[in-house]
Structure 1
């Protein structure tokens, strides 16, 4: 007895479908079966493209492993531009067989997807280090130097010592071989993983600050100079987490 359309759809949702089964379904002239098969084929094409893109984003890591490096840390930061809050950096060492197809530049991902991948990266990573430099450090040494300090702190906090660093458009004063990649968070899975860890970590921090300092929208704007944030500055003045060397914050001192 032939399968019902519902059974065919369930069959095509299995983790693997044999070529023999697909060939049999291709001979089934029912419109519902052909539509299900067409949908399945499109999904497989999308998955194949996603896997190819993932492998391309692993090219730097693969090449470095062929040259003997094992603990390759991707490093990225978030929080250079906000008017308030810290700059946060993350360093992530991934295993050779990581299964992180959807890990990409955190700016290209939705809030929900970043949260999902944040958990998945934590489960799969061999080591994660996080560096945080607050507004006082930023005001004292400038945002660029504070970013470097946060990145170096993240590297130092790795449970497994890194033997190579992949960074997003940055070089660190550390005695480790390293490569700086322009738009690295879109070109390297390790850097992309670090960008997600840094972004979600900072967003959580800013959500906590929103409870301490309501009226600025920190939970929504992460400290960036949105209309809500600027209105809060005008109405309430600056908070202890504002960067006093950043305009327009310094205008309210």
Structure 2
């Protein structure tokens, strides 16, 4: 199926690895011009080098920390100078912290809202003038299953509300921007086997220090967390949904929040670590 994404200008935040990078590769395979941004220049360079472009596609990295307004504005200015418009914005940057409610620090609370909800709001707001210049503009916000389901143990009172705000924000934005032809949808992934994310969760469960033996336990935990014959997600599983939302095939999809988690029966990897 031709998603008609060839020549589209696509910006993806938090895209040096995991879901963001998988999205970049899918868009590049469809012939889009992709700008990926992340904080670490070495990871960005590696991501660009390892992404195969076809059908006239291009990919470039732009170093930006989306918790900083100055970095966001620099990213948007770069896209404006280089392309003059933006067709697809994928707000993927985000993270999570899992710990008991009483143990969450004020800084962790602020950081959680900043990298998740605040970043999506600010990037979308600054990108709005460029999206208005597109013939078929789209915003896809990436949330997380803690927006809908608790994660205890250890606790998701910090991350869950930030993720839930992303879902609610997407609904409001879809309504408000409809007059400009800008569609806004939200993807809510379940457990996705991104190496960096798995290591983060494993380190948190181990008091902050990651140990290599955690890798040996992953398959065992997955076997009890999902029904026989199924698995936790891979980054590309989410990326294909994102590309569909951005395409002309989804012209009648606006304001949707789609959970992509293998079904309500799947258990959280985080809670399995604390079981």
TM-score by length of 1: 0.23
The one of the two structures with greater contact order (alpha-carbon pairs below 8 A, sep at least 6) is 1
TM-score by length of 2: 0.22
